[in-house]
Each structure stands twice: as C-alpha cells, then as structure tokens.
Structure 1
C-alpha cells in the first residue's frame, strides 16, 4: 500500500488513509484531540506534521503504522558500493532457517573465519554505518552474518564468548542499517537475535549496546513509553559497573540515556527526557571528551545534539533553533553530523526560513546522500516545500526533490 503513497507528504498520507477508513475530518480530529481546522491544514500542508508523537496518535487512530504515514521504506539505490543485491539478500540471510536451527540443517559455509578477520569485518561494517554508506553495509552484512554465526558455533571457551560478542555486534549493525532504510520489522529481528548473542558473550558492554539497539527498534515502532522503560531497566542492569567503568562502558551507558531521552520526548514526557539528558551529560563529563568507543560517538557534543533533537520532538522549536546552530559537530562521524543538520533544517523550516533550511539539507546531502535520501525528515521537508510553492518551485528545491525521488 505504501507504493501508492510514496510521492505524498505525511499530511497527504493522513488524508489518504482517512478516506480509506471512511472517517471525516471531524471524527479523526476528535480521536487525536485536535480540531477539524487543524487537521485540514495538516492534510493540505499548511501545518507541518514533524513531531512523531502527533504522527503516532494519527497512526493509532487510523490503525496503520508510523511507517505507513512516513512513507517508509524507500528503495535502496544501486551503486558501486551496494552492487545489485541489496536488502533482499540481507532479508534472506535473516530468514534462513538453517541459521536458526542447526539441528536440521546447516549451510555449507566452509571454514570459519579467524576472530581477527571477523573483528576487522565487523569494524568495517560499523565504520560504513557511521559514514552513512548504507549500500556498502547492506552488501557486506549477509556474508558477515554467515561468517559470524559459523565462528560462534565453531569456537569454544573464551573464543566462543568473543565470537558471540562479534555476532551480536553484526546483528546490531544490521539492525541499525535496516532501521535507517525504514525496514523496521527486519531491524527488530536483527536486534532481537543480537541481544540473544550478546547475552551468550557475557560482555556487559556488548549487552548494553544491544539494549540500545532494541530501544531504537521500539522507537521506530512508536512504542515510546516501552522504550523509555527499557532504558530504565537496562540502566539498572549496568549501574553496578559504574564504580570504575572503562571508557567503552561509560559510553554505552551514556548513549543508552540519549536514546531514552528521545523516547521520552516522543512520549511527551518532559520530566523524563530532562532526567535522561542529565544522566547522559553526567556520563559525558566523566568521559571527559568526545570519543567513539564502541561506535557510540558519545561525549558532550552528542549530548548537545540530543538536547536539540528532544526539543524538536517536544515542539520547542525556538529552543531547537537557538541551540542547534551553536553545536559544532565537525569532529563527529558523518551520520551524527547529518542527523543534526536535518534537525536544524526542521527547526528553520518551522519558522518559514526555507532558504536557510534548504541550505542545511543541501549541506547534509553533500556529506551523506544516502542518509538524506532515506530519512523521513528530509523527504517530508522537501516535499512540503514543493507542495507549498505557488507555481513552480525554485530550481534548487526541484532538483533536490528529484534526487530524493519524492516527485
């Protein structure tokens, strides 16, 4: 059904699904505690639907998923990085019953890789994720999953624990990439299996990392309150190790609270969002500087990025606009820089500073075209600008809309 709505804004998709459900504007508006006038403006792109808490309420009332209203997933373009076997190959790898039930059949995978080679390959995929090279990561992950599973089953003792840890990080890499591409159900499968492997590793840092991945999946599914509760429970599990934590341990702990802050903000729970951001800031202060332990990009700057994002989710546009441009993200991985750039663009657009917002999106696109193309925020911003222009949109907006495949 999403293919029929791929060139619609979020507001236009609300109208499309509302008609399919046979609901009037008065009825749907009442179900989400709004007025029919507000809903009419949202459906006609005179109000931007840019808060996930509002989109979730509409999705719930229409009995559809958040992804249905955001238009996810989108097609992963072929490239030199991706080749011509992209997400279907990764889907096949995750759904191969022989990987799940070795008692009734195992794939003919040959010799298991050495742990050194596996560590290198896992690191390569994670680096690609942080560089927003999703096509490359999607291409590498199917064979990497097979290798990591074989290593985990072929090893013993301490080596088996390490192999399970690497398997968990492979699954987490898959979950993150799939989440970025809008494949939320597949991302959940990968995160669930990753957490199981992490527990077999006995490594609390890796277990904490997978808790974060499961939290991301709950966020994508619109289960914001559950995600926030998971963060509280996971923090309780990790707290005993905070006496003399390694930098990696502290980074995982702090990043978990950043994810929780977004969950709380999307649930419109200001107090918990503030509490989680403060806990993350305390961990960042203990760490002392920005770092990238366990590919977390954790530190004071990432905390500042999440303050801006949380403000945006809570509807505090002026706060996001005041704080956002002040955050210097140049030392962070590309994925973090671009995500923050889109957040700033959203705040600028909300204040009708379209030229500045467009400049922010174009800058982000230069850094990471794949990430910008697949993020609902950039697609909806650009499509809204196209729809909101009387006559033809400006050439830069029209060209960007064509590159993002939203028209």
Structure 2
C-alpha cells in the first residue's frame, strides 16, 4: 500500500493510523509541528536514519515501515520464482532447533565440502556483483546443502563444514538485509554465529560477528551494534599480530567500518572517530585495497565510510567535498554503487539534483538490481518526482518507471 509513498508520506499515513496529531508526534521526537508538517509534505528531505528511528519508535512501527522495506524482488532468469520465501522455509525449519527434533537427512549423497565451498563462493561473488536475484535464488539451496553436509560429515571435517555453514548463513544475511527482510536476517545471523563458534576459525568468527552487527543495525538497534563491535573486536584482538594475514585484517577492519556507521546513526561521534581510526590502521597495515572474505576492505573503503558517516552525522558539506575524491573503480560493483547512492544523497542535500540524478543513472548502468531495491535510491527518486519544479525530466520519469515507483 505504501510502496509508492515517500518517507514523509508514510509518516503521515502511520501518524493518522495511530490517531496522533502533528503536534503530539513532533513533541515525542523533540521537533516542532512546523518541521513535521514540512516533512510530511515533502518540503524537507528526511534521510538521517537516527531521526527516522526516533519517529518509528514514537509511532510503534519499524524503520522498514517508514523507508519502504521490504521490497518485492523481481523475478529474473537468475532468481527463478522461489526467492525470499524459499530462504524463509530453510530458516524456519524446526528440525534445526535441537537434535531432539531432528528428522532423517535428505535422500541421496550429501554434497562434498568442495562443492559447498564452490557454491558459497559463487553466491558471495554474485552478491558483490549486485546480482540479488541470483543470490536470493541460490542461497536457499546452498544453505540446505551446507546443513546436509554438517549433519553427515566425519568428525575430522567438522570444523570446515561448520565454517562453510556459517558463511552460507552469512550470504543469506547479506541479501536479506538488502531487501529489508530484517527479522529473517537476524535469524540467519544468529545461526551463522552459532556455526562459526564450532568452526574454530577466527576469520570466519569475525566475519559472522560482522553479520550479527549488520543485522542489529538493519533493525535500528544502532547502539547495540556499536556495543557488539567493541565486544567482537576484543574477541578478535588476541588473534592479531604484526603478521596477521589479509583475511583476518580485512574482517577486523570491516567490523569497525560497520560499527562506525552504526555509531553515526546513534549520534555517537566519539565512537565514529575511534572506529574509523581502527579501520584506517588495519587498512594501512594491509597496504592496499583487497577483497579477502569478500570484504572489499582497504584504504578506499575506509574513505567511503568517512563520507557515509559524515552524511549520517549531518555533516553534509564534508560528505559533498569527500565524494568526488574517492576513486572506486577497483572495488566490487556493490561497493561502487553503494558509494554512488551516498554521493547522490549528498548532492541532493545540497540541491544539486541534476548531479545526483546523473550519478544514480550511471550507477544503474552498473547494477540495476541494486538501484531498484535499495531504500535510499528509491526514496531519492520518489522525492525528486514529488518535488519536481520547472521543465520535465524525461530521464527522471523513466528511472521512476524502471523502479516501479510510478
């Protein structure tokens, strides 16, 4: 019902459903009635998640309700016709809860661990290429195979099997958070972390810490995500040394990047500064942009997060100044397009809509699925359409149609 509404229009919709006046809701979030009126009438761009979270709490709805998530994943040749519901079926299989409820393993030979490892890698590679349909279509099958492998594997291969199961869960978390399926993402992250703890592998454990933090973050629990970042870092630190390998450095550094964004959305400037410093130190030790454990970690990703956190803290001009200085060509598609979305958001906040639209159109050429399904890109286009002035923009109207917003 609310898919084609802006955030402001959704706030008005849910406020009326709750029987609240603008004066009451504005007071609950520490703003004026005039400010809320301008938000609901699309005269103010409401793009800081810290503010959206406070409004969501006052209305007793989720952040996803206000930003328009989850989104319907289009069927493609990559995805087939079984996507998120198939993932839900695997995650809600009661037999996983306890050995007491275990059922007979599936018929046929269990997949080899080499085959599971190959399939997990292919899903992560597809995610970094922004092929969300492929990930959503394949992840349920890969997760089922990983579960089957763990249930039948010899004890000697137990660590490897549990590591692969943890990563299969992480691949599910990645796409579910992108699509706004936050409750399912939390289930997957929790089970993935449980598997990682049985793998005896610090890199995999760190990677799943990142998934849990991301799942917390996606539900608006920003302060909890900050706390988890600190706790997870303390667990990983004993495994670090002056000769830590690329994978461990990358996982450790990326954990702080995620934590920095959560801290910014919690209005915790101190933690933002501290986390970015830790990430910078890890990137300096790594010495280059890399992609160990599909992290895309390195100096460039740290720079991207400096810009993202500036936007989240309301330091718009800092973000606008940083954006064009960051060269992302060497990064995976998902990271390049995510930076483009943030750049478009920053330009919009400075009333440079033509520049923002140009950036978004270029990004769409790289990753149409990512632009179609990301909440920020969808909200940008909706607001541009609603508040358009002057001559018609055919390019904007066509983009809105491709995003199914008109």
TM-score by length of 2: 0.97
Tell me if structure 2 keeps the 8 A contact 1:98–1:106: no
Residues 290-301 of structure 1 aligned to structure 2 (within 5 Å): 290-301=289-300
Partner of 1:95: 92
Q: Distance in 2 between matches of 1:158 and 1:245?
A: 26
Deviation at 1:320, TM superposition (A): 0.4
Following superposition, the deviation at residue 101 of structure 1 comes to 4.4
Unaligned runs of 5+ in 1: none
Cα-to-partner distance string for 1:183-232 (whole Å, 9 max, x where unaligned): 11111111110000000101111011000000001111110000000000
Query: What's the offset of the Cα at 1:392?
Result: 7.7
2:231 matched residue in structure 1 = 233
Gaps of 5+ in 2: none
The alignment status of 1:212 with 2:226, answered yes or no, reads no
Query: Is the aligned partner of 1:248 residue 2:211?
Result: no
Deviations 1:287-312 (A, max 9, x none): 01000000000000000000010001
Deviation at 1:355, TM superposition (A): 0.6
Structure 2: how far apart are the matches of 1:29 and 1:405?
31
Structure 2 equivalent of residue 11 of structure 1: 8
Among residues 115, 118, 121, which one is paired with 1:120 in the alignment? 118
Q: Which residue of 1 aligns with 2:259?
A: 260
Residue number in structure 2 paired with 1:405: 404
Given the alignment, which residue of 139, 158, 161 partners 1:160? 158
Moved more, 155-164 or 106-115: 106-115
Aligned length: 404
- Residues 110-133 of structure 1 deviation map (CA, whole Å, 9 limit, x = unaligned): 211111111111100000111110
| C-alpha distance in structure 1 between counterparts of 2:214 and 2:392, whole Å | 35
Kindly report the root-mean-square deviation, in angstroms, between the aligned alpha carbons of the 2 structures.
1.2
CA drift of 1:156 comes to 2.6
| Inter-partner Cα distance in structure 1 for 2:73 and 2:2 | 17
Give the TM-score of the pair, scaled to structure 1.
Answer: 0.97
Q: Is the 8 A contact 1:98 1:107 kept in 2?
A: no
Provide the C-alpha distance between the structure 2 equivalents of 1:106 and 1:145, rounded to a whole number of angstroms.
17
Please report how far the alpha carbon of residue 100 of structure 1 lies from its aligned counterpart in structure 2 after TM superposition: 3.8
Q: Could you say what secondary structure the match of 1:72 adopts?
A: coil
Return the alpha-carbon distance in structure 2 between the equivalents of residues 200 and 392 of structure 1: 61
1:391: how far off? Answer: 7.6
Separation in 1, partners of 2:142, 2:104: 16
Pair 1:109–1:303, CA change in 2 (3 A): farther
Q: Distance in 2 between matches of 1:236 and 1:87?
A: 34
Cα shift at 1:107: 4.4
